Amino acid sequence: MVLHSLPGRLRLRIETKLPSANIEAWFRSIPGIYSASYTPITKSLLLYYDEQFQPHLFLEMLKERKRESKKAKQDLSIKKRVSLISLCAVLFCTHWMMTKMAAPAFYMTLLNRIMGAVVLLLSLPTIKNGLRGMVKERKFNPDFLTMSSLIACLYLNQSASALVIYIMSTASELLTDMTTVKTKAHLQSLLHLEAPYAWKILEDDTVSKVSVDDVSVEDIVKVYQGERIPVDGFVLNGHAVIDESAITGEYMPKEKTVQDEVYAGSICQSGEITLCVTKTGRETALGRMIQLIENAYSSKAPIQEYANKIAEKMVGVSFALTFITYLFTRNLNRALSMLVIDFVCGIKLSTAAAFSAAIGKAAKKGVLIKNGSYVEQLANVETFVFDKTGTMTEGKPYVEHMECFHDFTAEEVLQKAALLEQTSPHPLAYAIIEEAKKRNIPLVSRLAHEKVNVVTGKGLYGIIEEREVHVGSLRYLEEEGIITEHYIHLSPTYSVYVAIDGYLAGAFSIQDRIRTGMKHTIKQLRLLGVQKVVMLTGDEQKNAEKVARQLQLDDYCAHMLPEEKVRYVENEKKRTTIAMVGDGMNDAPALTKAHIGITLGGKRTDLAVEASDIVVSKDDPYVLTELVDLSKETLCTVKQNVLATLFINGAAILLGSLGIISPVAGAAVHNLATIGVVLNSMKILAKEEKQGGTFVYDSSRYTRENPAASTNAAKPLLI
């Protein structure tokens, strides 16, 4: 990590346990670096370099080495576990064969001692963690239970039992590691989307190749054909075809020209463009995606925490059963069966693997889940609340009709409205701007010297060419004191009004198309147990009613301000588990109040992304049904694993206490059960995807209390 950078000087933060002298010597050996000083307390490394040294290439090399080192450690860990399991398996098979061949006692004793020494040596980390838990935390932990069972086996001269315990527990951990590596593969693919350098245009108009870390907001960069875009920004000049599939999920390349936004990680397939940088590093859309996935992997769902607590409590139960069994039977073998069979491994490993697999599979689909707890909550959602514009509709509206008043011309009204709307990400603004372009009305590139105020959920106000301009709803214009009562006969389809210098100047009838697949998505959500689907919109009553009727929604609300959306969500939360789906700035407050906030589509705003719990990069609404189905499958898998672990291990404990099975057989049953539930979790990743954009659900898996809700006619709510 770069802490500070100046010409000729670089300060880095390096986490390492190596001696300072070794670190400084290694960095001084790099050509161009003549001084290196490492401070272990602050983990800070200060470098001085000459003119020939290229810091951006050096930093990129360090990043690549770190990634390679991390991957090498993961691969080495998996290979090491496989090798140890193989070694122990060979020893166990040798012991079994010598027992069957009735080998001399001397050789059997020697082999038993070798096996005992191997188990003790390989189990040192487990023994260390078990003792640490007893000394520091003053409680039994799973490692202490495993340690106790191993030592008990060796004490009773049952090294084969100890070997079986080690083999099975290591195999379970190996499967969990393999699941984690597989689910993190998507994160690694995102990391490779980060461009290491950028072509920066300097003040003297020369183009210089620099590290992407040296690019700042408002810098100007050039992107050539075939290159990966290193930053987020908007096009200043040029024309290109951009592949944004890795970021937005849209497989069709897009044409980008002046004023269009582009994202880091996208590929310039053809053409050249010059960009003005708006975001760099972890602030870009790609950077936030990486950060969200990294955070999600480290989080735990409530059911996962609950499962872990159950598992830890069962450690004490195992010791209690051991003591009770020995007290009543005075048989060490039966008592040992209580130690070698525990509930911890199966519950903890399988639960962690299930949630890790779910987050990884969702990320592969372009869905970023910020925390594992949201997987659990989504499975229990009963009410879905949707924003309309840009969420239920395509978010690409068009101007169907416009009307002018007070002798204002269409060109004048359209130009003023479009100039003001350039600052707004709202889809209705897009329609006005596109209409202006269609009519070849000239628009300046930026309103750098004009005053623009955003009235959230209502409209915009600005000074354009020394004239006051209001753009927004009829309600907003009336609040601003603009006379509109003479025009109440206007068509109810008008949704955007323009006032110039205090006079009503024009009105736009803007229509939007319902997203392809939205109607089918809502039907599938109901089959998955969703009881109620509601639409909240700031649009006019007639437009909202039309959409609600077409989609057969249960309820809808029109003329909704952001604070009214919040009130509705808060009221619904008292009665049911609610998920809010939106994409705009005015949806952000409601997204934070819902149990689950979801942003949908490539046109989502930064504020909505920050406020939401789940980010769907694609514009495909089918992903919502896949996500709900995935969450239900994950929760179902966790419950299956817990029940299977409790039942199988409970049965093994009972048989062991009665002396029906030996400790070796008990250990085998316990660890095979653990492997089985971990494999059951891995099926989430292995499950085949449906092709062709449709998803088939087994509705018999889920029940609904009110199946008639899917055919309910849309009913307006009174605000």
What is the structure's pLDDT at 690?
A: 43
Predicted pLDDT at 182: 60
Which helix or strand (DSSP H or E) is residue 547 part of? helix 541-551
406: which DSSP letter?
A: T
**Any domain includes 419:** yes
Tell me the pLDDT of the chain averaged across its residues.
Answer: 77
In whole angstroms, what separates CA 608 from the centre of its chain?
15
Please state, in angstroms and rounded to a whole number, the distance separating the CA atoms of residues 383 and 377. 12
Say which CATH number the domain at 476 has: 3.40.1110.10
**Mean per-residue pLDDT, 496-506:** 90
- Global pTM value: 0.58
Give how far Cα 399 sits from Cα of 293, 322, 335, 493, Å. 39, 78, 80, 11
Name the more confident of 647 and 63: 647
Band the pLDDT of 604: cuts 50, 70, 90. low
Torsion 227-233-236-238 (CA) sign = positive
Give how many domains the chain has, as a whole number.
Answer: 3
* Higher pLDDT pick, 698 / 505: 505
Task: Give the C-alpha separation, 664 to 652, whole Å.
Answer: 11
Torsion sign over Cα 28, 30, 34, 38: negative
Q: Is the pLDDT of residue 615 over 90?
A: no
Among residues 485, 511, 537, the one where a domain terminates is 511
Is residue 291 in a domain?
no
Q: How far apart are CA 142 and CA 28, in angstroms?
A: 46
- Sequence letter at residue 217: V
Q: Does the residue 413 lie in any domain?
A: yes
Q: Check residue 51 and give its pLDDT.
A: 73
pLDDT at 83 over 80: yes
pLDDT at 576 over 50: yes
CATH of the domain at 212: 2.70.150.10
In a domain, 154, yes or no: no
Q: Which of 27-41, 220-234, 240-254, 477-491 has the highest mean pLDDT?
A: 220-234
Higher-confidence residue of 541 and 314: namely: 541
- 104 or 487: whose pLDDT is higher? 104
Of 483, 511, 539, the one marking the end of a domain is 511
Which of 453, 484, 511 terminates a domain? The answer is 511
Angle at 649 between CA 646 and CA 651, to 5 degrees: 100
- Residue listed under structure tokens 């989307």: 193
Out of 33-37, 301-305, 581-585, the most confident range is: 33-37
- Where is average pLDDT lowest: 66-70, 132-136, 182-186, 640-644? 182-186
Position 701 scores a pLDDT of: 41
Beta bridge partners of 300: none
Res. 530 pLDDT band, cuts 50 70 90: very high
> Does any domain span residue 472?
yes
> How do residues 358-388 score in pLDDT, each as one tens digit?
887 887 777 878 777 788 889 889 999 998 8
b/e 565-590 (16+ beta carbons within 10 angstroms → b): bbebbeebeeeebbbbbbbbbbbbbb
The mean-pLDDT minimum among 12-21, 177-186, 494-503, 589-598 falls in 177-186
More confident residue, 335 or 482: 482
Note whether residue 22 is domain-resident: yes
Confidence of residue 499 (pLDDT cuts 50, 70, 90): very high
Q: Is residue 240 part of a domain?
A: yes
Token pair listed for 710: 């899917």
Does the annotation count 698 as an active-site position? no
pLDDT: which is higher, 707 or 460: 460
Query: Is 405 inside a domain boundary?
Result: yes
CATH number of residue 18's parent domain: 3.30.70.100
Nearest to 267 by CA among 368, 194, 366, 186: 194
Per-residue confidence (pLDDT) for residue 245, from 0 to 100: 59
Give me the residues paired with residue 368 across strands. 615
What domain range is 447 assigned to? 398-511
Q: Which is the catalytic residue, given 387, 512, 613, 629?
A: 387
Q: Report the run of H or E that residue 362 belongs to, with start and end.
A: helix 344-364
| Kind of pairing between the strands at 220-223 and 197-201 | antiparallel
**Residue 702 pLDDT exceeds 50:** no
CA 629 to chain centre: 17
Confidence grade of residue 28 (pLDDT, cut at 50, 70, 90): confident
